[in-house]
Chains A and B, each alone.
Chain A
Amino acid sequence: MASIEFRGVVKVYDKKNLVIDDLNLLIEDGSFTVLVGPSGCGKTTALRIIAGLEEVTKGSVLIGDEDVTKKEPGDRDVAMVFQNYAIYPHMTVKENIEFGLVNAKVPKAEREVVVAAVLKQVGLERHVDEKPSKLSGGQRQRVALARAISKKPRVFLMDEPLSNLDAKLRNQMRRELVELHNKLKTTFVFVTHDQIEAMTMGDCIVIMCDGRIRQKGAPQRVYNDPDNVFVARFIGDPGMNVYPMEGGGFFGFRPRKVGFAGSGDNGAGVDASGDDGPADNASGDDAVSWPGRVAAKEILGSEVLYCVKTKLGDVMLKTSSAGRGMDDLATVSVPRKNLVFFDQNEDRVRDENEIRRLAGGRLGA
């Protein structure tokens, strides 16, 4: 077990492509940290730098209290699960796991014990002597996982390990990984572009964009209290509705925090008060509303996601009532207390007076 620390890490590819720009990050010992961001944001590079598969251009990397910047990948005491598993296709499941142990000169008797234990842990006991080509995608993933566990590393690195699995299996593996983390209590660093994976698995989320960290924090905190427009839009499914304001800066609200106003519809008689969301009673003086027309409707099961075209732009609205149909006229309404404000630089405005001033003004010219 160990913490990981980036100190002023810069990574430049081919002398011109800046991938990571002055990264300073402390990944705490025993945490399940998720690096998340759109493709090309530098999250995988950051992970590969921890593994030692990528050299830093500037700065240093520490695992525990030890500077590993110049160490070989094999000497860092880390294990990694790759996106396409990277298990050895010509070796059996057992040989795959044993390979690293043999290289580390673990005696045969001990190897047998470790292999049996990790195979049991991932539920592959019956496939010991099979070649990977005989296994399903999920089973291969487990081989990769077993190989990582067998090394008892200080740090587990995972590079989008679930992206090649189908949706059902992905959900299951997500839970299993969380359980595994609870059992091993080792530091996990998990890279993904999928914010749902990040939200559901991590106890700490690091949101990256263009080689820089945009926000770091617990999932709930990052969701409720985004530091900037990028994080607000990236986290959440769908992300926050964010619109520019007249005098510069931006304001936004979550799709779950906006509702249909009781009037202005096409007479279908369905009232926003029928909604049970936080946007209930979203009318009156303390709310702002915009008339619009329903442009898209997605039924998600327990909830319905609407896209309403207003003069603000497209407003995403999540509610539990499915009363509106396509092309219905509808007015969306948000309580002023649900609004979030950002300044010209897209950074969050947290000053109380400033918020009061902005919230009282005309919104969405």
Chain B
Amino acid sequence: MRISLSGWASNGLRCPDVEIKLAGKSGEPAKVALVQMPNGTGKTTTLELIRATLTGQASTWPPTRIRDYRRPGDNRDKGEFRVALLLDRRPLTIELILDFENGTASYRTTTPGSGGVVGRWQPPPSVLKFLTPDFLHLFIFDGEFADKLLKQDAGRADEAISALCQLDLLDIVAQTTESQWKKRTSQGGGKTAAALTKLNGLRDALLRRRSDLEKARDVAQRKIDAGSVAAADLTKKIADRLGSVEATRVQHAEAILALQGANNAVSKASGEVMDLLRMPLAVHKSFSESLVELRDNLDHLKLPENTSAQFFADLVQEPDCICGRPMSDVARDEILKRAKGYLDMEESGTINALKHDITMFVAAPGDEPAYVLLERVLKELTSARRQQREADQTLRALAKKLIDEGDELLKEWQDTLGTLETELARCKQVLQEINAPSGEDTDEPIMSMKLVEKKLDEVGKDIAKLSETVDLRSKTDIIEAILKQAARLARDEIRAELVQESNKRLSVILANDPLRIDRIDKSLHLANQSGASVGQKLSVGYTFLMSALNRGNNDFPLIVDSPANSIDEGVRRNIGKLIPELCTQFVGFTINTERAGFVQALEKVCEDCLFLTVFRRTEGTKRLERTLPPVGVTKTDNAVLVNNRDYFMSFDLTDEKDI
């Protein structure tokens, strides 16, 4: 971006009421403009107001500071200062209005073509980063800043490099990277690799548990399969034994018969109980009573109109009514008239279906209600189970009898069967636990395969989410490390190049002085000396800043307060020669004692020079008004502005009588 200063205007302030236009021969801001303002004309005030106007900082000033800018003896309530810039040749005007009565500052920004006039400090976003107090120090340059460039704790040299060589852009990228990371992980949860390791450990444990449970299930199933066959074989052997021994044969046959009958009865009753338990009507009589009450309270005798109206229309066309009687005109009229009373909205179809279903499922008066049926079947099941146990006990008693009588083989079979049945029950219990629904998570080892699967699924999702977070952190760290390293490398390289370039210029400016820059870190370090004169500091500051400005890709005006003060004439000449080469626009606030050497050197290398002289109109300066040139003079109530090279060169406030 190229920023040029077109001019400024002051009205009602401590500095003279004057409008400075920096237009050169081409109409664009002159490459070099020297504004000669004798001491006491408001040079420092003008520079302060240029800074305050461009940065918008005056809105934070206290009332006392604002009133400090009021011209003594002036009754006006307000003072205004206006700065005109060109941003890539597009005008931007910022006005600062100081209200002395209220002690407030306000702004007005004019951006033709994009936004017009707004009643606040609002420069375009693209220029905002350049209109900060720190940045303005770089192009509104004074001896104080030159001094700070050499002070170790001020860090101004590094700030200048960051701003002018765009290293501060790396900070913006780093800040965006970190803020995006925070934004994406603001939902909470683990964010670290340690948390991910923990989750992976949990997942491994669950996978091992699943594997163990699969093995346990296989073992249990194999045992059940094999044990069931062995148990059936033993049961058969025991039964054959009991059936073959004379003493138990008859009782055994009866008990077997009773057991078979009881088994059948238990099976039948169980099936019926299960069927009935699926019906709420059978579980409790309240269900059927409530349903009947609901049915009886629903609309009576209504048909959905959209599907049933046609029925009546067709019926009256029939020769006979649905009741069997011939269809007469009287019946036809009556049916059509009364049909409306039986037709209703579409919902009546659903209501009719509901009523029909309730009637179907609820027992008709006199029939056995479902809940009574369930009570009866449960009693039958209880009875069948009792018979089953009795038959089983009889069989066991018969076996015990034979064992007691010394049947060792039967005893062995019986013991083996007992052990086998215990093991089978245990295996079935294991299988039941493994195949159980997921259930509740407890501190006990997980037995349910479904619960293991569910937890695996959850931890898998957590790992996926955390992996993404950890991945994002790793990438963020990589980007930040790259930016940090790039900033270090770029800074080192730029510092080295700036030392070289600055020393090259210093060798021209200070041709008779061995002063050189040794290195740059936070500040500038001089070679072979710790201190420097004011002139030396100014020269070093110029060369450094000019080199940095020249290096950057943005063009700024270099506005300097007393550019040649405290510098001897030879050095002034050398600086003057270099200035036009190093910046696109140079504005210097001078006093007459700075002209020697400096102005001539500037004119030699730059054709587009503007020479302005400003002085206050007082009793003491009346004599100066008598010698004004015929053209290029602007007078206000309290100041005179002269745009004339010769007047500039000969201007001297000192009265001849004073010499």
Bind each other: no
B positions within 8 Å CB-CB of A: none
Residues of A within 8 A of B (CB): none
